[in-house]
Amino acid sequence: MTSLDRTLVMGVVNVTPDSFSDGGEWFSADAAVAHARELMADGADLVDVGGESTRPGAERVPVEEELRRVVPVIRELVAQQIPVSVDTTRAAVAAAAVESGAVIVNDVSGGLADPEMYPVVAGTGVVYVAMHWRGHADVMDQLADYDDVVTDVGAELRQRVAGLRSAGVADHQIVLDPGLGFAKPGSANWPLLARLDELLAEGFPVLVGASRKRFLGHLLAGADHVPVPPRQRDAATAAISALAAAAGAWCVRVHDARGTADAVRVASAWQGGRTVGEDAR
């Protein structure tokens, strides 16, 4: 897809009944398409269509059901000239989505959930987001031990890159994602954001997906220590979007596009102003 001189905004379209922040709202194909159009109108550059919840504790759905949920939505969005990413860990779903016009495969498992994923990516030439992952949603909270979370995540993502290259995937197809909230306790997410430059140093575009995650709910909790609900985390998400954009992230994945669309534009102007200032010296 066309690149911009700023961080891209990816809007989330959950075609699921059980996603953590908006499960069920966009479950029908018509509702999902309408929501995608709203996200684009609010400033998203593309939408990420997923048919299986990855919230902590979520159970898997059959591949046939995942296909039934996402393929009609993707076809309709592509027909409306909306750029589409598919959020899936399954090679069969990725292949069907790309055949239907998706331009990105966003795999939260980084290819670990399905050994056929890398050959599909290599064969189609599609852009592929490899997220840091250690296990499916029903077990990931048990897999959150790290010596140094930034070092460990970087090392494990390098393993994913090596596997992709071995399968014939070109470097220009690869995007990395630190996997905020996936097999990571709340406190482990902040070093990944604060040291995003270390992941960027790998030389690949980086996607940041902090939107409405649990660690934001805990950060914003009041005196009662009760995490604020997901929809009250959008302002904090936009703040992370601005900081991630200023750090050089390729894309941010969000549920609420309007605030983040403004945030990444502010970050771009801020960086541009710094450059102008340096040139004037």
Residue 64 CB coordination number (10 Å): 10
Our answer to whether residue 184 is catalytic in this structure is no
Q: Could you say which of 160, 213, 214, 258 is catalytic?
A: 213
Residue 209 CB coordination number (10 Å): 27
User: How are the residues of the chain apportioned to helix, strand and coil, as percentages rounded to the nearest 5?
Assistant: 45, 15, 40
Angle at the Cα of 88 from the Cα atoms of 83 and 90, rounded to 5 degrees: 130
Residue 250 tokens read as: 């390729």
| Residue burial 168-203, b: 16+ Cβ < 10 Å; e: rest | ebeeebbbbbbbbbbbbeeebbebbbebbeebbeee
CA distance 122 to 9: 25
- For residue 222, count CB atoms less than 10 angstroms from its CB and return exposed for 0-12, middle for 13-18, buried for 19 or more: exposed
Residue 162 CB coordination number (10 Å): 10
* Strand order through the sheet with 207-208: 174-177, 127-131, 104-107, 84-87, 46-50, 8-14, 251-254, 207-208
Our answer to whether residue 253 is catalytic in this structure is yes
Q: Could you say which of 69, 90, 214, 253 is catalytic?
A: 253
Residue appearing with tokens 């290599």: 122
CA distance 166 to 146: 27
**Active-site positions?**
213, 253
